[in-house]
Each structure stands twice: as structure tokens, then as C-alpha cells.
Structure 1
Amino acid sequence: MKKIIFFFFLTFLFNFSGNAQNQKNNTVNKTNSEWKQLLTPEQYYVLRKAGTERPNSSPLNKNYKEGVYICAACKTPLYKSDSKFDSGCGWPSFDSAIKENIEFGVDYKLGYARTELRCKTCGGHLGHVFDDGPKETTGKRHCVNGVALEFIPKK
């Protein structure tokens, strides 16, 4: 029992310190009520509460047009269309990001460490990174909630 309590304490400690660090680098700071006015309820749940949308629910999942994917909250460019691929996982997937606009954290919500993706400008939760992406490129799969993104087509 003591081991279980200690595990949950460590999980809480890492989540708390990771979130504090993420907030330090952000350049867009809004109150929760400001975010709620700006975002749809589903966007708020994903971007501000680190939720996950249902798989296969985003029209961006099967979008393969040329353009740029931006943060739905602050409009920061996050992914170029040439890094998008069909992973079959049910969420938009990319093998790389616009590096200066993404930050990585550690998420212990499921009881084990996962690499979390956040918008570097507003701190919005985007999704997670996995090591099962295309081997011919980066080998990474950025599994991103479509509701956290907007697509700007190339002109």
C-alpha cells in the first residue's frame, strides 16, 4: 500500500513540476475564462485540460492538401503538410514539427511516462509523440488532436 501511495505522490509531483515549467516559456497567457470565450468546449478540453478527442472525429485526420497546421488557440504554425502521414491511429499524425514552436514534456496520466506535445507559444496540449513513425524519415509519430489544430492551405 505504501508503494502505491508513493507512486501516486511521485506522479503528482512530476505532473505539477512539468506543468509549471511549461507555463514559464509561454508568450500567450490568458485566464481560464478568456480561453473558454475564445475556444469551443472541445478545444478547451483538449488544449487547456490536456484531454483527448475521439479517434477518427477530426476532418483534419484525412486532409492531405498542401499548407500549414497552426495552433487553434494562438495561431502559431506547428506542422507543415509535407510532414503529415496516415498512421491509421485515428488522429492526425506528423513525423516532425516546426521545432521552435513545439515544446515537449512528460505526461504520467496513464501511470507511465509519455512524451507530451505542447504549443510553445500558448502552452496548449496538442497530443503525444511515439516511436512508431516512418522509419525512412524520423521514426517519430506526433499523434495530434485535430481539434487543437487549424489548417491554412497553401495559396
Structure 2
Amino acid sequence: MKNIIPKAILISCIALSAGVCKAQNHLFKTSNPYYSHTAQNPLKVSNSEWKKILKPELYQVAREGATETAFTGKYDEFDEKGMYYCAVCGNALFLSTSKFATTCGWPSFYQPIRKNSVRYRKDTSYHMERTEVLCGRCDSHLGHMFDDGPKPTGKRFCMNSICLEFVPSKK
């Protein structure tokens, strides 16, 4: 994907989210020393360390590649304006403006906020070939990408709600 989001829009979104994050971090309490809405440096943390830090449900999906049950995630039918972050490390992942309605049972987006927000890995589990989507910072499993999304990308990033943290835009 080329130039996913024009630089001016990205800078505005990051500036907007910076103020939101400061307020949200006050509300979102975590003992996770690796959690940050501003850091972009790749993390190399062992699963044994993550297991000590994360709640069991999040650990199972994000670090062991499980999938939450369809239609049960908090962001499946959710349409507030704001930004979605990795629930494991705080990495910025998606803008709400790239979220679209689907009937698949998981929140879906047509593009990440920036090229290195996510990374991809071939997944051949369950006798099928899919593209796994991982956090670009902490390598946590977020979900899968499919080629049946809307324009402009034609992609559907089908994400597990449990792996996302939503921060609303300031009004």
C-alpha cells in the first residue's frame, strides 16, 4: 500500500489524539510498563513476561493467536469517532473513519493509520490460507486481513475487539 494516509491528515490525527491520550491515560490505568500511545519502537518482550502483565483473556488472543467469539466484542457494532490502539502496547492502529459495517461479527477497518502500525504473516491454520495481522510494535495477534473490503483499499482488517483500546475524539 502506498501513502496510506496523507501526511497532513496523519499529523492532525496524531496531534488530536495526543490531547485525547493524555486524558485517556489518566482513566486507562495499567501496570504494563511497555504501554504507550506515543512510543513506536519495536518491543521484544517474551511471552512469559506478557503472561505476567496481561489479563488472561487478552493474553490468549493477543499472544497465543486465539479468536474471540463472533458478535461478542465490544467494538463489533460500535461507531464512535476516535482512534483504536493496541490493547497490549498502546500502538496507534486505526482511525474510526476507516471502520466500516460488516456482518462478519468483528470490527473491520479498510486501512491502518500508518504503514508500520501493523505487520503481516501468512497463516495456514484450519486448512486455509489467510493473512494474519500483528501489531507493528509488539507483534501481538490482532486478527486477519481479507481482500473483500470497500474502496479505496479493497481490504478488510477483521480485528478482535479484545486486542483494541478505543480513545474517543474530543468534541
Q: Contact between 1:65 and 1:81, CA under 8 Å: does it hold in 2?
A: yes
Q: CA deviation at 1:62?
A: 1.5
Q: Contact between 1:38 and 1:73, CA under 8 Å: does it hold in 2?
A: no
Equivalent of residue 149 in structure 1, options 158, 161, 164: 164
Q: CA deviation at 1:39?
A: 1.5
Q: CA deviation at 1:30?
A: 2.0
Match of 1:107 in 2: 123
> Partner letter of residue 136 of structure 2?
K
Where does 1:6-155 land on structure 2 (aligned, <5 Å)?
A: 27-98=42-113, 99-134=115-150, 136-155=151-170
Q: CA deviation at 1:103?
A: 0.3
Q: Contact between 1:87 and 1:133, CA under 8 Å: does it hold in 2?
A: no
> Any idea what SS the aligned residue of 1:59 has?
coil
> Any idea what SS the aligned residue of 1:34 has?
helix
> Partner letter of residue 124 of structure 1?
S
RMSD (Å), alpha carbons: 1.3
Q: Contact between 1:85 and 1:95, CA under 8 Å: does it hold in 2?
A: yes
Q: Unaligned 5+ residue runs, structure 2?
A: 1-40
Q: How many pairs does the alignment contain?
A: 129
**Higher gyration radius (CA):** 1
Q: CA deviation at 1:139?
A: 1.3
Question: Which stretch of structure 1 is more off in the superposition, 60-69 or 29-38?
Answer: 29-38
> Partner letter of residue 55 of structure 1?
A
In the alignment, the residues of structure 1 paired with residue 46 and residue 116 of structure 2 have an alpha-carbon distance, to the nearest angstrom, of 24
TM-score (normalised: structure 2): 0.72
Give identity over the alignment, percent.
Answer: 45
In the alignment, the residues of structure 2 paired with residue 131 and residue 27 of structure 1 have an alpha-carbon distance, to the nearest angstrom, of 27
In the alignment, the residues of structure 2 paired with residue 115 and residue 87 of structure 1 have an alpha-carbon distance, to the nearest angstrom, of 18
